[in-house]
Amino acid sequence: MPTPPRQTTSLQGTRERILTLLRRSKLTANELAARLELTHTAVRVHVLALKHSGLVRDGGFRPSASKPAVVYELVPRADVVFSEMHIPFVAHLLRVLGERTSRVQLDDLMRAVGRSLASEWPHPDGDLPKRVGAASTLLNDLGALTEVEPRGTGFVVRGSGCLLAEAVHARPEVCRAMESLVAALVQTPVRECCDRSEHPRCCFEIPPSKAATAARRTGSVKRRQ
What are 81-102's pLDDT values in tens digits?
Answer: 777 777 788 888 888 988 999 9
Interval 118-140: pLDDT, tens = 999 999 999 999 999 999 999 99
pLDDT band at 165, cuts 50/70/90? Answer: confident
* pTM of the predicted protein model: 0.66
- Provide the CATH number for the domain formed by 86-215 in this structure: 3.30.1380.20
Domains of the chain, by residue range, sit at 14-81, 86-215
CA dist 116 to 119, 136, 185, 186, 223, Å? 5, 18, 11, 15, 45
Least trusted range by pLDDT, from 28-37, 121-130, 138-147, 213-222:
213-222
Look at the alpha carbons of 77, 78, 81, 83 in this order and tell me if their dihedral is positive or negative. Answer: negative
Alpha helices in the chain (DSSP H): 14-24, 29-36, 40-52, 79-82, 86-100, 103-118, 128-141, 165-170, 174-186, 210-224
The topology (CATH level 3) of 14-81 is Arc Repressor Mutant, subunit A (1.10.10)
